[in-house]
Structure 1
Amino acid sequence: SNVTDPFDYIVSYDVYLDNFNVHWDNHNVHNFVMLKPGANVAAFDAKIKDFISTKIDVTAVTLSTQPHIDNYLYGKFTNGVQDGGRIEYVRLFSLIALFILLIASINFMNLSTARATRRMKEVGVKKAIGAGRRSLILQYLGESLLLSFMALGVALVAVYLLLPFFNKITGKELSLFADLRMTGIFLLLTIVTGLLAGSYPALYLSGFRPVTILKGQFTSSIRELWVRKGLVVFQFSISIILILAVIVVFLQLRFVQSKNMGYDRENVVYFFKEGKLQDDSRQFMQRLREIPGVVNASSATGNLTTHWGTTTGVEWPGKPKELNVEFGCQAIDFGLIETMGMQMAKGRAYNPAFPTDSSAVIINEVAAAEMGFTDPVGKQVEFWEEKVTIIGVVKDFHFKTIHKAVTPWIFYFRPDQTGAVVARLAPGDQQATLLRIEALFREMNPGSVPDFRFMDDDFQTVYVSELRVGVLSRYFAGLAVIISCLGLFGLAAFTAERRMKEISVRKILGGSAAHIVLLLSADFTRLVGVAVCVALPLGYLITRKWLDGFAYRIELQWWYFALAGVLALVTAWLTVGSQAVKASRVNPVQHLKD
């Protein structure tokens, strides 16, 4: 399951060379090189950099190597330079996890310092009988570490139970203890978290002066209040940024799913020719089109959504010598454009009524613009050193992802080179249609069965990373908001507890429940309001950078930010309000009689 390139069988590359027209300006060849131990990779790259230019007259195409071990996480390149890949998502979720841990640590700091008055006399007595500050710091750090290790136990159980679900979302087969290093990482993370979360409370509590405490003269300092408020603002800023990110990711993915890709992928199935079908291709395609339930059928090279050839071997009148344009190129049969539901902007598609189509090509609108042709139909160009005529311009389409702009494209008519059969099925009983296609496949190619794949499923696979990011970001954002609200809930409960006598006096003097709820909620509302002001500009920069990875994307609207801010405020009001309402309902006598 961990193999990089799963395969059913391997054949010699000579077989490929014998069956396909391969040129030095093809870009569909990947070379794997085993270097000698100790070889200088940079020197090797320098030697092969301009190798292609020794074979064809081109200077823009250069070669370079990449360690195969890096290919999975660092597989994205821009102009030959490594530029991200899956590692970006690893870093993203690692950063989010770190922020969630920080939010939890902030809760511990806030609640510990807020409840410090409960431990004042303990600190005062211990210091009075000789306890040093160092011993008190060690005591409070020890308490924090103990809580951290208890949390580790809970976390391991939770991860063990949730890991199958997580693996299903991510499509991985992760295990809790992959190796001994994981155990070390868990322990180190627990110790660092315990020390980080407990450091401020330990320094704060151990700093109380015993005389002041025992005389009952201790009051909270302005600095303490500002630190606590700053921590609340920080944790809610992170939560708001995550809420905004979830909104933007969801809307971008919905845009991707609904965007007109330039072809109709619904009800399109494809499979590959094998064995005798390559020899009897024309007869097979003719009989395939006659099967009930098959609306139309054709064939092409590649599987259309992710694999095809590319080339720079296209020349046209007036092309600058230094210009190198990379074209997507596919050999196709009659009917592919119609089968895919693509639209012609100018000219016509391939037609059996025109015997000269074997020396004709069809381009897309981007290719016409690159060539500088306003009316390309009838123009002659040179394709792989052969003179060909442009007979049509197909409207731009996205066979690949919309991360990239539409690629210049050239279709050429070579039915004998097409390996993928594409069929559009009538809606309804498609299973019966597939069984009829399979029967024809078996009849004409005994001992083999077609491997059917629906193009709509392939489309989803292309965006699987974004879909997983969308799902995981919702869980992470929800977790961050819940943890932030837990901290706010604790602070609100403690604040209400400390102000019970004030609340009781206000009630006796005629204060309404609504007035008391508003009184207790006002401070927290201001803090969350500040967090909104801090988070939204940062959220804009982060979401803008993520959207820049798509050539076609949604535009950031004001209401995305308004919605994120309102959701944060409403969540805070509900959290604090529950405690405020509870406090407003107390019997004043209970708190004024002592």
Structure 2
Amino acid sequence: MNKTNTPPRLAGKLLLKLLRDDLAEEVLGDLEEKFYLTAERKSLSKARRNYWYQTLHYLRPFAIRKTQSTNSNITTMFKHNLLLSFRNFKKYKSSFFINLVGLSTGLACALLIYLWVNDELHVDKFHKNDGRLYQVMMNHQMTNELTTGPSTPDFLAENMLKEFPEIEMATGVTPSEWFGNFTLVQGSNFFKATGQFAEKDYFKMFSFPLIEGNAEQALDGIGSIAISKDLAEKIFKTAENVVGKTMEVQIINFKYPVAVTAVFENLPTNSTEHFDMVLNWKMWQNMSDLAGRQVNWGNHGPNTYLVLKEGTNIDEFNKKIAGYIKSKRETSTVTLFAAKYSDRYLHGSYENGVQAGGRIEYVRLFSIIAIFILLIACINFMNLSTAKASRRVKEVGVKKAIGADRKSLIFQYLNESILLTLFSLVVALLLVLLVLPQFNDITGKQLSLNFDLSLVAMILVITFATGLLSGSYPALYLSKFNAAFVLKGGRISTSVGQLWARKGLVVFQFAMSVILIVSVVVVYQQVNYVQSKNLGYSKENVIHFDKEGKVVENQDAFLAEIRNIPGVVNASTIQSIVVGSQNSTQGVVWEGKNPEDNIRFEVVTVNYEEIETLGIQMLEGRSFSREFGADEEGVIFNESAIKVMGMEAPLGKTVNFWGGDKRIIGIVKDFHFESLHQKVNPLVIRLEPGKTLKVMVKLEAGKEKETLERLEAFYGEFNPGYSFEYSFLDQDYQAQYVAEQRVSSLSKYFAGFAILISCLGLFGLASFTAERRLKEIGIRKILGSSVWSIVWLLTSDFTKMVGAAILIALPISYYLTSNWLQDFAYSIELTIWYFAGAGIAAMIIAWVTVGVQTLRAARVNPADCLRYE
């Protein structure tokens, strides 16, 4: 051994540097670099290794004191760890890049999902009475089921307010979707707007801020109307000083003069309400009387909302009101309960009278997806950090030899993972800002990155939790090695448990990816199924628009002219579009009916030619026709209705409902007038042209554009002043499945990100494995192994791990997707190809990911392999 480089002499030189505060970090770096250049070399003799160990051992007492002194200065220690982190990022560039991409992608997905989930959780939560604001729901006991709905008797709110001291305020509200668009006439101008009727306390109960007017008097008189800011600007060109201005409201053949009593702010985006104006409740009652609508305790229509007094126990209150309808009508099979108003958006589904899911299921689903994507990114960091432990173990030995304890090492490695996560956060925020407009298009929301306290706090929590989670295992793993063993050249042996843990993490990653692939495929197939299923009527090339103005007064003449327009196949009118729930009744009576049977029939009110316009198929009998005189006394049932009635040879038989005898003239094939979430219910179609609200026109395929231009021109001549605003029936049908379509789109993107992150981790592990086995590859090639045999050798372990992931994921994905499909009364059949295809796709992705790296390693020159240290 050279005397000039004896351990004491070298230690003395280093000690002089170590004692200088400004060079402390440099000394530590020198020690590491010198050791890496010598002791790390596998060809180093045992004597040489001992030389370095003696040098470090000699310095240890001085280093301990120096370390203690340095540790007393938190800033210095932080700067030191920061410098070491940057050195390691620079030294292991590939791992740094893989972890940066994986963590930033995972954080971006998590932030997007958080913005969406947070918005969903705050829908309808802005009302100041939120904690006490409830909606009255009704459980209807049918013969074979218990159904739940919001329709209540017209005067329920008024009577409950008088009879239940727990109620502070109450109002009835007619849903805005009942009427479509109202027509507002101001001078010679016509405007369309959506509206609803409500009782006088509406604006006291709901927090829709008033720009003009006050909540006490906004709906005080029968001619009162409260309008939105946008509607005020549309009609009066301003939202200021419009209280007291008059106009006329038209709906069907009813016309009412009204005066503006209030202007309210435009409804917030996180409100489930959609209306431009609110009219006085007495006007609705007057319309009902003029239309001959039956108003009694057995007739259900509007919604009822309550504000309960402070301290009211909702469970006790629900027990108290349960039998209220029965106390007014002995034959009623309805029970009441109050549900929190702001819960209806997320918890709107009921089974047998009990809340059973709703949009909350999607909130939970995407929250779980966000957690899993972050876990997959964290797993990449853990796997790559522990896989390259043999490279960093000498660093651990050096630090321990100069006095660093395990706690300080754990702190350093956690600091490194948190720093990497902070870098990833910056990239993630840039990604979120970049893709947020497209994300809003997919979700139908108006989300933004407003850095308020709650968002900043959540970002920091997610970031530091991700950093700690991803860095915890590597920190504990790396800091445990013994300094003497490592510095004397001891090799790290991976225990069976550590090997299985690493493989288990890879299996978990790909299992999650396979589950997401299967879910995407099933959701896509179901959405495609509901979009293409034969519904029993023709929804393509059918438009609808409101009856208004002269169309109401001269309905028959208008329809006759419409049918003569080139490109129009047929035209008629209907009370409400065929998509969605219709009116219903439990009062159908027929000969032989069991008095205890309580069956709900949906009721569709139509005009002549409506069945033909929609292409509904007749099974027996005939449709409504003017050739048979007073067809208003005839009714048509669907197959399901005849089945539940137990009728044989039903044509010509008489039934009674809504106070009159009706004769069955026809039976139609079942068609889906509600979404495929619901089974086809019993249906009765009645003829009453005067009570229809919508015009439906069937257009000739391929000539829609020119036909619509002719229709618009004719409408302007026939109904001057009114604009021709129409909608396509197939678009209304698709709107029923907007939630499923959005889930399908979001799942597709998030599954892609999960697979990308998993593949990054697999690529990193494959690179490390190939590099570690380069000597073995060189020897095998010299002994005659082919390139492809070496590729198989390197990929076989990964193939087994991905295969295990597939076997674990498939039964889980079957369980999850089959449960989701149960929400549909009509759904696809789960076939083996959905699952086999997902497994094959995952395996191919893994092979491509690993194969690229292993093929490159297998083609390296054997001489270069053998020279690799």
Alignment TM-score, normalising by the size of structure 2: 0.66
Match status 1:4 vs 2:272? yes
Q: Report the counterpart of residue 858 of structure 2 in structure 1.
A: 584
Give the alignment partner of residue 456 of structure 1, picking from 730, 733, 747.
730
Q: Report the counterpart of residue 270 of structure 1 in structure 2.
A: 544
Amino acid at match of 2:518: L
Give the alignment partner of residue 466 of structure 1, picking from 732, 735, 740.
740
Equivalent residues of 2:514, 2:810 under 8 A apart:
yes
Q: Report how far residue 27 of structure 1 moved.
A: 4.2
Match status 1:383 vs 2:657? yes
Equivalent residues of 2:633, 2:662 under 8 A apart:
yes
Amino acid at match of 1:350: F
Q: Report the counterpart of residue 164 of structure 1 in structure 2.
A: 437
Equivalent residues of 1:25, 1:312 under 8 A apart:
no
Q: Report the counterpart of residue 284 of structure 2 in structure 1.
A: 13
Q: Report how far residue 440 of structure 1 moved.
A: 4.2
Q: Report how far residue 178 of structure 1 moved.
A: 6.5
CA gap of 1:435–1:53, structure 2 versus 1, over 3 A, is farther
Per mean C-alpha deviation after superposition, the further-off stretch among 442-451 and 504-513 is: 442-451
- Secondary structure at the residue paired with 1:207? coil
Q: Report how far residue 568 of structure 1 moved.
A: 0.8
Q: Report the counterpart of residue 241 of structure 1 in structure 2.
A: 515
Q: Report the counterpart of residue 574 of structure 2 in structure 1.
A: 300
Q: What does residue range 141-290 of structure 1 map to in structure 2 within 5 Å?
A: 141-177=414-450, 179-217=452-490, 218-290=492-564
- Can you list the C-alpha shifts for 1:188-224, whole angstroms capped at 9, x where unaligned? 0111111111111111111112222222222221211
Q: Report the counterpart of residue 496 of structure 1 in structure 2.
A: 770
Equivalent residues of 1:64, 1:80 under 8 A apart:
no
Taking only the aligned residue pairs, the percentage that are identical comes to: 51
Match status 1:60 vs 2:333? yes
Q: What does residue range 115-154 of structure 1 map to in structure 2 within 5 Å?
A: 115-154=388-427
Per mean C-alpha deviation after superposition, the further-off stretch among 211-220 and 561-570 is: 211-220
- Can you list the C-alpha shifts for 1:297-347, whole angstroms capped at 9, x where unaligned? 111111221252122222223333333222211111111111000101111
Q: Report the counterpart of residue 213 of structure 2 in structure 1.
A: none
- Secondary structure at the residue paired with 1:292? coil
Q: Report how far residue 147 of structure 1 moved.
A: 0.9
CA gap of 1:198–1:62, structure 2 versus 1, over 3 A, is same
Tell me, in whole angstroms, the C-alpha distance in 1 between the residues paired with 2:452 and 2:546: 41
- Secondary structure at the residue paired with 2:335? coil
CA gap of 1:449–1:36, structure 2 versus 1, over 3 A, is farther
Match status 1:104 vs 2:377? yes
Tell me, in whole angstroms, the C-alpha distance in 1 between the residues paired with 2:405 and 2:649: 89
Equivalent residues of 2:507, 2:802 under 8 A apart:
yes
Match status 1:401 vs 2:701? no
Tell me, in whole angstroms, the C-alpha distance in 2 between the residues paired with 1:206 and 1:374: 83
Per mean C-alpha deviation after superposition, the further-off stretch among 537-546 and 2-11 is: 2-11
Tell me, in whole angstroms, the C-alpha distance in 2 between the residues paired with 1:79 and 1:448: 46
Equivalent residues of 1:272, 1:450 under 8 A apart:
no
Q: Report how far residue 43 of structure 1 moved.
A: 3.7
CA gap of 1:44–1:360, structure 2 versus 1, over 3 A, is farther
Amino acid at match of 1:107: N
Match status 1:72 vs 2:345? yes
Per mean C-alpha deviation after superposition, the further-off stretch among 347-356 and 523-532 is: 347-356
CA gap of 1:32–1:16, structure 2 versus 1, over 3 A, is farther
Q: Report how far residue 449 of structure 1 moved.
A: 1.8
Equivalent residues of 1:123, 1:206 under 8 A apart:
yes
Equivalent residues of 2:298, 2:332 under 8 A apart:
no
Tell me, in whole angstroms, the C-alpha distance in 2 between the residues paired with 1:285 and 1:322: 44
Equivalent residues of 2:512, 2:809 under 8 A apart:
yes
CA gap of 1:152–1:541, structure 2 versus 1, over 3 A, is same
Q: Report the counterpart of residue 812 of structure 2 in structure 1.
A: 538
- Secondary structure at the residue paired with 2:336? coil
Tell me, in whole angstroms, the C-alpha distance in 1 between the residues paired with 2:810 and 2:284: 55
Equivalent residues of 1:58, 1:324 under 8 A apart:
no
Tell me, in whole angstroms, the C-alpha distance in 2 between the residues paired with 1:337 and 1:396: 13
Q: Report how far residue 557 of structure 1 moved.
A: 0.8
Q: Report how far residue 58 of structure 1 moved.
A: 4.1
Q: Report the counterpart of residue 42 of structure 2 in structure 1.
A: none
Amino acid at match of 2:552: Q
CA gap of 1:14–1:185, structure 2 versus 1, over 3 A, is same
Match status 1:551 vs 2:825? yes
Q: Report how far residue 291 of structure 1 moved.
A: 2.5
Equivalent residues of 1:507, 1:588 under 8 A apart:
yes
Q: How many residue pairs end up in the alignment?
A: 594
Q: Report how far residue 15 of structure 1 moved.
A: 4.1
Equivalent residues of 1:272, 1:421 under 8 A apart:
yes
Higher strand share: 2
CA gap of 1:49–1:20, structure 2 versus 1, over 3 A, is farther
- Can you list the C-alpha shifts for 1:230-250, whole angstroms capped at 9, x where unaligned? 101111100011111111112
Q: Report how far residue 272 of structure 1 moved.
A: 1.0
Q: Report how far residue 46 of structure 1 moved.
A: 3.1
Tell me, in whole angstroms, the C-alpha distance in 1 between the residues paired with 2:342 and 2:292: 30
Give the alignment partner of residue 30 of structure 1, picking from 289, 294, 303.
303
Q: Report how far residue 371 of structure 1 moved.
A: 0.8
Give the alignment partner of residue 603 of structure 2, picking from 312, 325, 329.
329
Q: Which has the higher contact order (CA 8 A, sep 6+)?
A: 1
Amino acid at match of 2:772: R
CA gap of 1:80–1:22, structure 2 versus 1, over 3 A, is farther
CA gap of 1:335–1:51, structure 2 versus 1, over 3 A, is farther
CA gap of 1:542–1:474, structure 2 versus 1, over 3 A, is same
Q: Report the counterpart of residue 354 of structure 2 in structure 1.
A: 81
- Can you list the C-alpha shifts for 1:469-508, whole angstroms capped at 9, x where unaligned? 1111111111111111100000000000100111111111
Tell me, in whole angstroms, the C-alpha distance in 2 between the residues paired with 1:17 and 1:38: 37
Equivalent residues of 1:297, 1:339 under 8 A apart:
yes
- Can you list the C-alpha shifts for 1:148-201, whole angstroms capped at 9, x where unaligned? 111111111100110000000111101112742111111101111111111111
- Secondary structure at the residue paired with 1:274? coil
Equivalent residues of 1:52, 1:61 under 8 A apart:
yes
Per mean C-alpha deviation after superposition, the further-off stretch among 207-216 and 40-49 is: 40-49
Q: What does residue range 359-370 of structure 1 map to in structure 2 within 5 Å?
A: 359-370=633-644
CA gap of 1:179–1:38, structure 2 versus 1, over 3 A, is farther
Q: Report the counterpart of residue 203 of structure 2 in structure 1.
A: none
Tell me, in whole angstroms, the C-alpha distance in 1 between the residues paired with 2:378 and 2:538: 51
Listed as ranges, the gaps of 5+ residues in structure 2 are: 1-267
Equivalent residues of 1:148, 1:193 under 8 A apart:
yes
Per mean C-alpha deviation after superposition, the further-off stretch among 504-513 and 45-54 is: 45-54
Q: Report how far residue 388 of structure 1 moved.
A: 1.3
Equivalent residues of 1:59, 1:322 under 8 A apart:
no
Q: Report how far residue 8 of structure 1 moved.
A: 4.0
Tell me, in whole angstroms, the C-alpha distance in 1 between the residues paired with 2:286 and 2:405: 82
Q: Report how far residue 398 of structure 1 moved.
A: 0.7
Amino acid at match of 2:467: G
- Secondary structure at the residue paired with 1:296? strand
- Secondary structure at the residue paired with 2:852? helix
- Secondary structure at the residue paired with 1:163? helix
Equivalent residues of 2:606, 2:685 under 8 A apart:
yes
